[in-house]
Amino acid sequence: MLSTAQIQEFQQQGFLVLPQLASTTYCNSVMQLALDALREHTAPIEYEADTGYAGAPSSRDAEGGLTARRLLRAVGRDDLLMNWARQPLLVENLRQLLGEQVVLSQAHHNCIMTKQPRFSSVTGWHRDSRYWQFARAELVSVWLALRDETPENGCLSVLPGSHRWAIQPEQLDAAQFLRPDLAENQALLAQAKTVALRQGDVLFFHSNLFHAAGRNQTAETKYSFVLTYRDGDNLPVAGSRSASVPEVVL
């Protein structure tokens, strides 16, 4: 169970790290599953070339064009992933943050992130809620580090408390990323905090929290298992991408 202090930290900062929520054995098993899927190019996969982000190959036909960014529809790939996603301890923690009825979205995240040494891209400052459509922008993502995550291999950075910021449209570019050229945004970005994780650590973060990630500059792929959950009454908008895949009620 989360302590009162941990709940308050999440509410105020928009994120919370829980150390060692998964074992080394489990993390290594998921990485092996990911390696097998990458070797076979087992769909669905998002490739770095699909993103258009800085540092990504220009197309799938370009050099490095088949560098995988993430293995999609993760929990449907293997019970190893689904069982972890609905384990009682995790669900209880999420109930404390979301509400009594916890629902796993299969439309958003639900992936194994595979940030590879070459051709990995830079992800600018954004809120996930920029392209999610729910009654409220109040979802929680769960990020499990399957290997140590550091600034060198492209770990996440966050803007603490930004899930409560009132951001004006002109502060964002056409893709809803914070514009780094604006002085008012530069003052916000000065508050950035790097979230380094050890293998087995879990980061909980609010869907409205601004976060970013750099390139992987090491020789090894960084693997992360990422899921997103909502409260039972925070329904996806009918007909939207958020409602396009059946959800899992926990």
pLDDT at 55 (0 to 100): 80
Identify each DSSP E strand in 44-196 by its residue range. 45-47, 68-71, 102-105, 111-115, 123-126, 140-145, 156-158, 193-194
Q: Which residues contact 30 (CB under 8 A, 6 or more apart)?
A: 80, 81, 112, 146, 223, 225
Task: Report the mean per-residue pLDDT for the chain.
Answer: 96
Helical residues (DSSP H) of the chain, grouped into ranges:
4-13, 24-40, 79-85, 88-98, 183-189
Under the banding of pLDDT at 50, 70 and 90, the label for residue 30 is very high
pLDDT at 53 over 90: no
Q: Calculate mean pLDDT across residues 183-209.
A: 97
In the chain, the percentage of residues whose pLDDT exceeds 90 is 92
Show the tokens assigned to 8.
């308050």
Structure confidence at residue 95 (pLDDT):
98
pLDDT in tens, 73-88: 999 999 999 999 999 9
Phi, psi of 55 (to 5 degrees): 95, -10
Pair 204, 217: CB distance under 8 Å: no
At 111, which amino acid appears? Answer: C
State the average pLDDT over residues 16-20: 98
Confidence of residue 118 (pLDDT cuts 50, 70, 90): confident
Pairwise CA distance, residues 91 & 104, whole Å: 10
Residue 55, classified by CB atoms within 10 Å of its CB into exposed (0-12), middle (13-18) or buried (19+), is middle
Q: What is the pLDDT of residue 242?
A: 97
